[in-house]
Chain A
Amino acid sequence: MIRSGRLLAYFALLFCPTLAGCGDGDDPRPREPPILHAPTPLPECPDADYRSCDVRDPACLKGLSQLAACLRHSEPLDVPTELLTEDAYREQLLQSRADDGPASPHFDRALSSFGLAPAQRPPVSAQIADRVANLGGYYDSVEKRIVIIDHGRPADGADTDALLVHELVHSLQDADYDLDHWPDDEPRSFDAALARSTLVEGEATLYEYRAAAALFGLDIGEVDLESSLQHRLAGVLEEALQATSALSVSFRTLPYGMGALRAFAAWRQGGPRAIDALWAAPPRTMQSVMAELFGVNAPQDSGAEIAPPIIDQLTLDSDAVLGAWCLYFIKMQAGAANALDSALSWRGDHLWVYTDASSSTYTLWQLEFDSAGAARSWKDFFDSKHPPTPVGGAATFVSETAGTRVYVSYAYGGVSAAAPLTGWGTAWLDEPH
């Protein structure tokens, strides 16, 4: 959402007008001064306290906890909440990253081949600055506490109260589902993690917005909540597509916009219990989230399992399932037509990144589509963006199709055609699919 916190920063008194002014109109002092109307309770939580309050006040925290629990049909929890300054949060992040070793350059280099990230990750200081600037608050599922970042907004503002409701919903989700291990302890790909995040953040965002309407002094019955959530979606899509990295910005944008609309659709059918049904069958692919949201293509609950190629000459550095969102990102960045249709023809993918003794980078991305035509179209797209001849000796590129499967590979480090890539090229073409 766009917060109003700096509305008055743009006021200016101008001292160079040339036109005549005019007098005041009537300015009677009323015998009984008007007052702001009392908040209109949400119909589902008529007994909650909707007066804005200071989130540092235990009584306020208790009241908002009860509101969050009521919205979700849960039992309220007692969750420690802290207001942290930006500087304190920055210091916390720096300390948590202090023991991190240098990131492997190969994965970023591979992503940059497809326009999914810059070739080099921004420095840690820039990553931390971005996080500090853009995070409103978070629920710590390990320490079971909530942190609200103090960006200069009043601690007793209605929007801060609504943000706290969002985080309190996370604490309730954690109590029900154990977020750190939900829905299972299987390793999670980027695509699956992002998809599941749409449910976690979507539910919390929906209740945040409903709470906000009442906290703002509005009658929820007169509020066009769907319009609000649609604009939120438009905003997060714009922000995510303008980012230089498809991965890093995705988690702090898409789940809120996409997830909230999905949660709202379920909620309208059956209230909180309908959202429980989403938790019982969480989305595992962004293709399913986007197909359902935009009404394009058929939602796919899972992607095709793609066996890793047998590569003896190289060392595996990293791998990922990137999913339909990344395909959409690539097409939108390229200004390609029919980006959504094209992206949602996804039926599976897997990216492998390798290196060798000379620290060259090799990447193979296998993608499965719903038709041979879609596969050819994607191969043509990759070819158009990345010619299959070495560019200044910096990278070699190969693409192939086999039915509904596309194979795209890059090699960096001045590797010639006689290098392992050629043998690799033959090897993965022989893999069954």
Chain B
Amino acid sequence: MKRFWWPAGLGLSLLSCAADDPTLDERGRFALCQGACRAFRRCALTDAGCELRCTERYDRGGVRSSALLSIGPCLEEADCESLDDDSAFSACAVRAARAEPLREAVIDYCESASKNLFRCDIWWSVEECAHSVGFWEDEVLGNAKSCHELECAELRICERSAFGNEP
């Protein structure tokens, strides 16, 4: 059975957005980098320079800084196998998404996504969507929502692009 893969690469796209709270951005970046680097180091996957490189260069690519505050500590507790095969990132992202407060932008996106994916025979309830996408910035969700007017094949490609993944 085919699976609908959800676009969620973090960190490669250049986004311009307001900088109302640079401290939150810094704290989020720091939390993520610290947590991930400590875990990678524990698993002998990186060296002492990880945090510096990460905090200097990491682009959260549309992920809310508040989400990074929880993803970092979550990664720090991940086992080496899940870090190595990347499954730790999915698991921590799920937890972060569920911890984010429900917002109008999330509801708007999810009601549209659920309805339009349903017409493409892709099943995703509004509630499950809302529990999954909360860590994306409202602007990203808005961009993805604009894809929902497209035909099914184009819709999936468009959404992948909106979430920063190559089609």
In the complex formed, the residue of A with least CB distance to B10 is A13
Shortest Cβ distance from A50 into chain B, in angstroms?
A: 11
Please state if A34 and B9 are interface contacts (CB–CB under 8 Å): no
Q: Is A1 an interface residue (CB 8 A)?
A: yes
| Count, chain B residues at interface, CB 8 A | 74
- Shortest A90–chain B CB gap in Å is 17
Q: Map CB proximity to B onto A7-38 as digits: 1 under 8 Å, 0 otherwise.
A: 11111111111111111111101100111110
Asked if B59 and A36 sit within 8 Å, CB to CB, the answer is no
* Chain B residues with CB below 8 A from A227, complex form: 119-120
**B46 nearest CB neighbor, chain A only:** A15
Residues of B within 8 A of A20 (CB): 14, 59
Contact A235 B124 (CB under 8 A): no
When C-beta atoms are compared, the residue in chain A nearest to B20 turns out to be A26
Q: Which of A145-173 contact B (CB under 8 A)?
A: 157-159, 162
Q: How many residues in A have their beta carbons less than 8 Å from beta carbons of B?
A: 56
A46 to B121, CA, bound (A): 24
CA A159 to CA B118, docked complex, whole Å: 12
- The contact string, 1 if C-beta is below 8 Å from chain A, for chain B 1-37, is 1111111111111111111111011001100100010
Contact residues in B for A22 (Cβ distance below 8 Å) = 15-19, 25
**Alpha-carbon separation in the docked complex, A129 to B19 (Å):** 53
Residues of chain A with a CB closer than 8 A to B126's CB: 36-37, 216-218
Report yes or no: A8 in contact with B132, Cβ–Cβ below 8 A.
Answer: yes
**Cβ–Cβ contact A52 & B127, under 8 A:** yes
Provide the bound-state CA to CA distance between A341 and B130, in Å.
46
Complex Cα spacing A30 to B101, Å: 10
A218 to B115: give the CA distance in the assembly, Å. 6
Instruction: Tell me whether B10 and A37 are in contact (CB under 8 A).
Output: no
The residue that A217 contacts in the complex, of B2, B7, B127, with Cβ under 8 A, is B127
Q: How far is the CA of A1 from the CA of B3 in the complex (A)?
A: 9
Is A224 in the interface zone, CB < 8 Å from B?
Answer: yes
A19 and B89 form a contact (CB under 8 A) = no
Residues from chain B with Cβ under 8 Å of A24 in the complex: 17-21, 24-25, 28, 64-66, 137
Q: Are A158 and B127 in contact (CB under 8 A)?
A: yes
**Cβ contacts under 8 Å, B157 to chain A:** none
Task: Provide the bound-state CA to CA distance between A91 and B5, in Å.
Answer: 31
Contacts known (A23-B22, A36-B127); A224 close to B119, Cβ less than 8 A: yes
Q: Say yes or no for A433: interface residue by CB 8 A criterion.
A: no
Residues of A within 8 A of B29 (CB): 21
Give the contacts of A80-96 with B (CB-CB under 8 A): none
A125 contacts chain B at the CB level, 8 A cutoff: no
Flag whether A231 is at the interface (Cβ < 8 A): yes
Q: Whole-angstrom distance between the alpha carbons of A159 and B87 in the complex?
A: 24
Instruction: Evaluate contact between A19 and B59: CB separation under 8 angstroms.
Output: yes
Complex CA distance for A418 and B132, rounded to whole angstroms: 71
The answer to whether B79 has its CB under 8 Å from any CB of chain A is no
> Residue A61 at the B interface, CB < 8 A?
no
Decide yes or no whether B60 CB sits under 8 A from chain A. Answer: yes
**A228 is an interface residue with CB less than 8 A from chain B:** yes
Is the CB–CB distance between A10 and B5 below 8 Å? yes
Contacts of B123 in A (CB 8 A): 1-4, 159, 162, 212, 216
Whether the Cβ atoms of B19 and A235 lie closer than 8 Å is no
Which residues of chain B have C-beta atoms less than 8 A from A4's C-beta? 4, 6, 117, 122-124, 128-129
- Residue from A21, A224, A235 with most neighbouring chain B CB atoms (10 Å): A21
A42→B159 CA distance, assembly (Å): 29
Name the residue among B4, B24, B75, B87 with the largest chain A CB count within 10 angstroms: B4
| A11 and B19 contact, CB distance less than 8 A | no
Question: Which of chain A's residues have a CB closer than 8 A to the CB of B137?
Answer: 24-25
The one of B2, B12, B20, B152 that contacts A17, using a Cβ cutoff of 8 Å: B12
Map CB proximity to B onto A231-269 as digits: 1 under 8 Å, 0 otherwise.
Answer: 110010000000000000000000000000000000000
B137 and chain A: residue at smallest CB distance:
A25
**Contact between B125 and A216 (Cβ–Cβ < 8 Å)?**
yes
A313 within 8 A of B: no
In-complex Cβ contact of A36 among B5, B28, B124, B130 (8 A): B130
Chain A residues within an 8 Å CB radius of B15: 22
B32 → chain A closest CB, angstroms: 7
Q: B32 to A228, Cβ gap below 8 A?
A: no
User: Nearest CB to that of A10 among chain B residues?
Assistant: B5
Instruction: Flag whether B162 is at the interface (Cβ < 8 A).
Output: no
Any B CB within 8 A of the CB of A213? yes
Tell me if A423 counts as interface (CB < 8 A to partner B).
Answer: no
A11-B93, A17-B11 in contact; A52/B125 too (CB < 8 A)? yes
Is B4 touching A2 in the complex (CB atoms < 8 A)? yes
CB-CB under 8 A from A3, the residues of chain B are 1, 3-4, 123
B121 touches A235 (CB 8 A): yes
Residue from the list A11, A19, A27 in contact with B64, Cβ < 8 A? A27
> Can you sample 24 A-B contacts with CB below 8 Å?
A3-B4, A4-B129, A9-B90, A11-B90, A12-B89, A14-B12, A16-B57, A17-B12, A17-B59, A21-B59, A22-B16, A22-B18, A22-B19, A24-B17, A24-B66, A34-B107, A36-B102, A36-B130, A134-B1, A159-B125, A212-B118, A223-B115, A228-B118, A232-B121
Known: A10-B8, A16-B57, A24-B24. 5 other contacts (CB 8 A): A12-B86, A22-B17, A27-B24, A36-B130, A37-B107
